[in-house]
Structure 1
Amino acid sequence: MPELPEVETIKEDLRELVVGALVERAEVLHPNLVEGGTAREFERRLSERRIVGARRRAKHLIVDLDSGDAAVFQLKIGGQFLLVPPVKEPKRNLMLVMHLGEERAGERLFLRDGTEFTRARVLDREGLEERLSELGPEPFSEEFTAEYLKQKVGGRRAQIKPLILDQKVVSGVGNIYADEILYDARLHPRRKANTLTDGEWERLAEAIKKNLAAGIEHRGTTVRLYRDLLDRPGDHQNHLRVFEKQGDECPGCGGRIVREKVGGRPSHFCPSCQREDGESGGADVRLRLA
């Protein structure tokens, strides 16, 4: 599913290829797309409006309009934005099409999602602020530090993986990057937050920043569904070390990667390098991301 690096990549594509275009007409093609309003109202607030910016907050893709409103998209599991042309026009699983103005030579921006879980709404400035108000800090912000993490969740007996997936704790981390982050930090996904040492909080904060930055550099992770605006897969899947690598050799210690449910989510880790009892085990697995 699109996590911070994938949404960041799509946002940058929109800035390069679409910002400045007039949305001549918007068509909602799936009734479940729009939340908090009607499809007709959504179409009206997008149509005959110019796209003046694109932003990301956590996993939210925000398209700014010249009216002062913003179209906010949550791509969930399989949402894809595709620019036609140059991409061949998609025929299936369509949820939205934005017909761009004549100055864009008939280009259209399609939203496709075979899972049908993508959701969108148009918000004014106040509504957008309220929508985003409970999100945790961005991982690359000055606010996000090891001390912040320790103060926010360090007293809790909850498992560390569900905590870093909580968007109120830190914005943008999903299941793929969480597994890679915990492997890099040498933390078992079931470790209780209140057992982490100061050094482990430092390693965790560093691993969150490093792994998300690598995902952005590699233009996202395509395990199955993710594509960028020009229908290209990401490259970060070629740099994953544990996610969906169950049974493979651990690159840190030579043991075997396992897959287990943690907090209801499939989780991948090395039991030797990421000891549940917190003792040091295996090799130093903080391998440099290529």
Structure 2
Amino acid sequence: MFDLPELTVIAAQMNDVLPGLVVAAGTIGVSPHRFVWYDREPEEFAALTAGLRVGRAWAEGKWLFVPLEPGRVLLIGEWGGRIRYHADAADLPAKRHLDLTFTTGAALSATTQMWGGVHLVEAGREREVKYVKEMRPTPLDERFDRAYFGELVAAAGEDGRRSVKGLLTQEQLIPGLGNAIAQDIMARARLHPRRPLSTLDEVQLEGLYEAITETVRAVIAAGGRSDERDLFGHPGGYARLMDARAVGRPCVTCGTPVEKISYLGGACYFCPACQT
């Protein structure tokens, strides 16, 4: 599943090769998938995209925004698969859920093994799309400062039940984070996944804030996680600190064997000595 760092990398790569390309044909629904949702019928999507020119893409949360000018924005979100640029449209994968072929002969494709959404909206109305319209500031947003973070944690932990992992992975309280990146954030912050937010002191809150922003930027700088692939099919350069391979191995900080638990719908990997 693409998180904010991977989509940020893909958007930047798109902006190296796509702006100015003209859509010859736009196609959706080539490979039916019950967990991919579209806001257009295939014929309508094809008619609306033909002849449009690609603008500069950007990422927010778990959504990729690709302007198709004039007048449209293509949104690809909650995507668990591949988004690829093909120098030759003949290389398009047989299984795909979206593709744009261009008058140059190149193409863009998106395929998911999990789920995802594809929306083609009028420019200026992209904020009306479900999951986007109520999106909070992301860790790359200038509004995501220490004061905002403190208020977010206070509200999320008010009832005493929300945990650190719950903050990072539930209800997109912090848009663009998923279970994979959350493991390294918690390791850097030295916090147990089940630790209640209401018990964190100011030093721990500061450490968690820094762990979030620093981890997101580190993954982007490395070109994404090594278990995901970029626009050109290359794996990212960021090797996770805490994943299935770390279980039983010594913690890099204290040497205690890393453990695994299942919690809040996913696996958690942590050091029982460092993360409290």
- Alignment equivalent of 2:116, drawn from 93, 115, 118: 118
d(CA) in 2 for partners of 1:272 and 1:52? 49
Residue of structure 1 in register with 2:247 after alignment: 246
Residue of structure 2 in register with 1:145 after alignment: 145
Note closer, same or farther for the CA distance 1:87–1:271 as it changes in structure 2 (3 Å cut): farther
> Normalising to structure 1: TM-score of the pair?
0.85
Displacement of 1:170 in angstroms is 1.5
Residue of structure 2 in register with 1:47 after alignment: 50
Note closer, same or farther for the CA distance 1:82–1:66 as it changes in structure 2 (3 Å cut): same
Displacement of 1:3 in angstroms is 0.6
Which aligned pairs between 1:251-290 and structure 2 lie closer than 5 A?
A: 251-275=252-276
Residue of structure 1 in register with 2:126 after alignment: 128
CA contact (8 A) 1:138 1:172 kept: yes
1:196 aligns with 2:200: yes
Note closer, same or farther for the CA distance 1:116–1:30 as it changes in structure 2 (3 Å cut): farther
CA contact (8 A) 1:87 1:231 kept: no
- Alignment equivalent of 1:72, drawn from 75, 80, 101: 75
Give the secondary structure class of the aligned counterpart of 2:56. strand
Displacement of 1:264 in angstroms is 1.5
CA contact (8 A) 1:93 1:116 kept: no
Which aligned pairs between 1:12-51 and structure 2 lie closer than 5 A?
A: 12-28=12-28, 29-32=30-33, 33-51=36-54
Give the secondary structure class of the aligned counterpart of 2:125. helix
Structure 1 unaligned residues grouped into runs of 5+? 276-290
> Normalising to structure 2: TM-score of the pair?
0.90
Q: Which amino acid aligns with 2:255?
A: G
Q: Which amino acid aligns with 1:200?
A: Q
Residue of structure 2 in register with 1:284 after alignment: none
Q: Which amino acid aligns with 2:252?
A: P
CA contact (8 A) 1:69 1:124 kept: yes
Displacement of 1:44 in angstroms is 2.2
Displacement of 1:126 in angstroms is 4.8
Q: CA RMSD in A?
A: 1.9
Of 120-129 and 185-194, more deviation after overlay is shown by 120-129
Displacement of 1:169 in angstroms is 2.1
Aligned-pair identity in percent equals 26
Note closer, same or farther for the CA distance 1:86–1:268 as it changes in structure 2 (3 Å cut): farther
Displacement of 1:236 in angstroms is 0.4
Give the secondary structure class of the aligned counterpart of 1:62. strand
Alignment coverage as a number of residue pairs: 266
